[in-house]
Structure 1
Amino acid sequence: MININGAGQTYRGKRGTVEALQDINLTVGRGEFLTLIGRSGCGKSTLLNMIAGLLKPTAGEITIDGTPVTGPRRDVAMVFQRPALLPWRSVEKNVMLPAEIFGWRKTDVRERADRLLELTGLTAFRKRLPHELSGGMQQRVSLCRALIQQPTVMLMDEPFSALDALTREELAVELQRIHLEMQTTIVFVTHSIPEAVLLADRVAVLSSRPGRLAELVEIEIPRPRTFGHNAHMEQVTAASARLHDLLLV
């Protein structure tokens, strides 16, 4: 699905050269949920932007379904830390925005929009403006807007980091449910070890700059998963401890 072959990123400026990423080799399978975790400045967001085609690698190559990534693609959606909703458009019209951008007939995607709003609990708020919503609800709208284009790949750059702890947990559980239903391939950047363990099939741990793939950790915990007490607490604790030890290196 996503193949990253020897990818690197070096920034050159007036103050010198900064090597952000070095020799990243990674394959993400179709329908997989992969989280990227590492210390601040290790290149997580840089790697995500390279997969999205927003930033060209200075070394190596990234392909999706065998096609080299040379720029943004319609089958790849991205969700950022901030929802970036258009304040003058209702929830429904924000979700439908990709239909206008890509020139789709609204009648062809309205049913899909209705289903996504229902899936995320936003049906009753479809006519509301963004400022009338909580931060968590705004991020749900952003998620719907990304999913309406039926992406084969969804890239998420710390989408819950600006939210309070309880809302963050709620949305992480919700995203897990959506992923189980829709089976979209997801690459998710986070600083949170509990979030990584809750969501991921595998966790890619990046080393400090220049970011290298330090280890791939399999999260073999049955789904659905929760943050609370459950029958798999021993596995959750072991996976969390392993990630914690890797991030201290």
Structure 2
Amino acid sequence: MIGLTGVSRSFTSRSGSTVALQDIGLHITEGEFVAVVGRSGCGKSTLLRLIAGLLPVTEGEITIGGERVTGARRDVAMLFQRSALLPWRSVLDNVLLPVEIFGWNKAKHRDRAYRLLETAGLNGFEKHRPHELSGGMQQRVALCRSLMGEPRVLLMDEPFSALDALTRADLAVELQRIHLENSSTVVFVTHSIDEAVLLADRVVVLTPRPGRIRKIVDIAIPRPRTLGRTEHLGEVARCSADLHELLMERDMSRAVETEGR
């Protein structure tokens, strides 16, 4: 579904060139939920923007459904840290915004908007304005908006990072359910190991800059998942511990260089 082959991205400024990502090779199958974790500055958000076609690659190639990514696509939606809802529009009208932007039939898509809001637990809030909602509810509205066009790919850049821990956990459980119902292919960037384990089929661990794939960890835990006491609590804890150790390791190239001095 999504293929990255030898992907690198550099940025040039007056002070010189910075390699953000280097030689990324990854294949994501249709309907898969992949989380990307790594230290700050390792290129996680840059990776999402490359897949979305918002940035060009410096080297390599990215494909979606066998087609090379050369720019933004209508079948790819992106959700950011902030909900970016329009404050003067109702919840329903915010969700319907892509319909207006792309010139789709509004009457045809209105029923889908209502269904998405119901799925996200927001039925009854259709006429509310964003300021009348909690932060978690606003992010649910933003998620519904991103799903309006039935995207093949949903890219999520730390969408719950501004929320409190309990709200994040609630939304992680909600996102599991919505993903199962909508079957989009999801790439989810997060700093939270717990979120990655709760949500992902696989977790891609990036090294410090330049970001390279250190390891891809399979999360073979039955769904739905929770951090609470269940029969799978031990598996959840083990996967979290494995990811924590990987993220705590020093970058191998830096370690070798230091030892050689």
Q: How does 1:109-148 map to 2 (within 5 A)?
A: 109-148=109-148
Match of 1:175 in 2: 175
Distance 2:168 2:240 in 1: 18
Distance 1:22 1:77 in 2: 24
Residues 70-128 of structure 1 deviation map (CA, whole Å, 9 limit, x = unaligned): 11100000000000001110000000000000000101101100100110111211101
Distance 2:123 2:244 in 1: 39
Q: How does 1:155-194 map to 2 (within 5 A)?
A: 155-194=155-194
Q: How does 1:5-84 map to 2 (within 5 A)?
A: 5-84=5-84
Distance 1:229 1:71 in 2: 45
Match of 1:203 in 2: 203
Instruction: Give the fraction of aligned pairs with identical amino acids, expressed as a percent.
Output: 64
Structure 2 residue runs of 5 or longer lacking an equivalent are 250-261
Distance 1:23 1:71 in 2: 20
Offset at 1:184?
0.8
Give every structure 1 segment of 4 or more consecutive aligned residues whose post-TM-superposition deviation is greater than 2 Å. none
Match of 1:232 in 2: 232
RMSD: 0.6
Q: Which protein is bigger by CA-based radius of gyration? A: 2
Match of 1:94 in 2: 94
Residue type of the alignment partner of 1:35 = A
- What TM-score does the superposition give when structure 1 sets the normalisation length? 0.99
Residues 150-179 of structure 1 deviation map (CA, whole Å, 9 limit, x = unaligned): 000000000000001111100010000111
Contact 2:117 2:123 in 1 (8 A): yes
Offset at 1:182?
1.3
Find the residue that maps to 2:124 and give its secondary structure: helix
Distance 2:248 2:123 in 1: 44
Offset at 1:135?
0.4
Distance 1:248 1:145 in 2: 36
Find the residue that maps to 1:123 and give its secondary structure: coil
What is the aligned length?
A: 249
- What TM-score does the superposition give when structure 2 sets the normalisation length? 0.95
Residue type of the alignment partner of 1:81 = Q
Match of 1:154 in 2: 154
Residue type of the alignment partner of 1:62 = I
